[in-house]
Amino acid sequence: MNHTRWKLARERKTAEGYVEPPEVIAEREQIRLAHELGQLVYDRRTALGLAQAALGERLGLTADEVEAIEVGGMLPITADLLVRLAVALDVSVDLHVVSDGGNTVGFGDHAA
């Protein structure tokens, strides 16, 4: 069986001329960004040798809430959360937001 011909329902609808509403596109982008942030948090936490509970203490959150961040389930991403993550993980947080949805989030070295 050739699976390369399979298409997502969204791809089929798009081919038929369906256009997603702007709020759906924005929500999809928010979810993508949350997953990207979650991977960054996980990578930095493990590089520091911290358990989820230890990071949670630094953030004032539970281990379950840290896990939710790491799997991309902490929505919406707020400025407060980004500031708290920067302090707890000793990084700078770089958020690049553009109108076409090519948003990015990244961690940099902590500025002295």
What mean pLDDT value characterizes the chain? 88
The model's confidence at residue 98, banded by pLDDT at 50, 70 and 90, is confident
Question: Do 92 and 106 form a contact (C-beta atoms < 8 A)?
Answer: no
Average pLDDT rounded to a whole number, residues 45-64: 97
Question: For 4-54, how does the pLDDT look when each residue is reduced to its tens digit (9 = 90+)?
Answer: 666 777 777 878 888 888 888 888 888 999 999 999 999 999 999 999 999
State how far the Cα of 18 lies from the Cα of 35, in Å rounded to an integer.
26
Average pLDDT rounded to a whole number, residues 68-74: 92
In order of their start, the domains of the chain are 20-109 (1.10.260.40)
CB atoms within 10 A of CB 56: 19
CB atoms within 10 A of CB 48: 14
